[in-house]
Amino acid sequence: MSDAFELVTRSDWMVLGGAALLLGLLIVSFRSRSYVFCQYLKTMTGIALKPAEVRRAFKAGGREGVREMFLDRIIQEDLKGGPVAIPDR
């Protein structure tokens, strides 16, 4: 059975290196999700969040927790502008 996992040839090492590279990319992509989300949110809405806040909200409530936090921030930003004048018809 141990013969199946021997790394003898150069191609064996290349396959192992490729698998390690893909695993590294997967780990980096999962770690950077909150950072990329915060950059996107700042660009699209002007609301700045910290990646740690997004991770904390996701751990506490999953997608719904992040959505709730985002909606709270949108409402806070909207209220900062004061009341909106509604024109008469």
How far is residue 8's CA from residue 5's CA, in Å, rounded to a whole number?
9
19-34 pLDDT, tens digit each? 999 999 999 988 888 7
Would you call 37 exposed, middle or buried from its count of C-beta atoms within 10 A (0-12, 13-18, 19+)?
middle
31-88 pLDDT, tens digit each? 888 788 888 888 988 888 888 888 899 899 998 998 999 899 888 888 887 777 788 8
Domain ranges of the chain: 32-82
